[in-house]
């Protein structure tokens, strides 16, 4: 039982470390300027004129 508890505690620590590393990586991420511009267009009124995703993608 003690061995199981130690294993669980070890795994919990590993998960917390991975979570911290992922949060750090996500915090450093920046959108590609071209992708960011496409998102802005999609969310603007201009983006609402497309009837389908294919039509929208074809415009870009």
Q: Mean pLDDT over residues 36-47, rounded?
A: 69
- What's the number of domains the chain is made of? 1
Q: Please state, in angstroms and as integers, the Cα–Cα distance from residue 47 to each residue in 20, 33, 42, 51, 60, following that order.
A: 36, 17, 4, 10, 11
Q: CB under 8 Å, gap of 24 or more: what pairs does 16-21 form?
A: none
Instruction: Indicate the pLDDT class of residue 47, thresholds 50, 70 and 90.
Output: low
Residue 45 has pLDDT above 70, yes or no: no
Q: Mean pLDDT over residues 47-55, rounded?
A: 67
Which residue segment(s) compose the domain that 8 sits in?
Answer: 2-59
């Amino acid at each position: 039982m003690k061995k199981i508890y130690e294993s669980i505690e070890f795994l919990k620590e590993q998960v917390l470390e991975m979570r911290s590393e992922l949060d750090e990586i996500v915090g450093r991420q920046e959108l590609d300027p071209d992708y960011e511009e496409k998102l802005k267009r999609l969310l603007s009124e201009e983006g609402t004129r497309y009837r389908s995703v294919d039509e929208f993608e074809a415009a870009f």
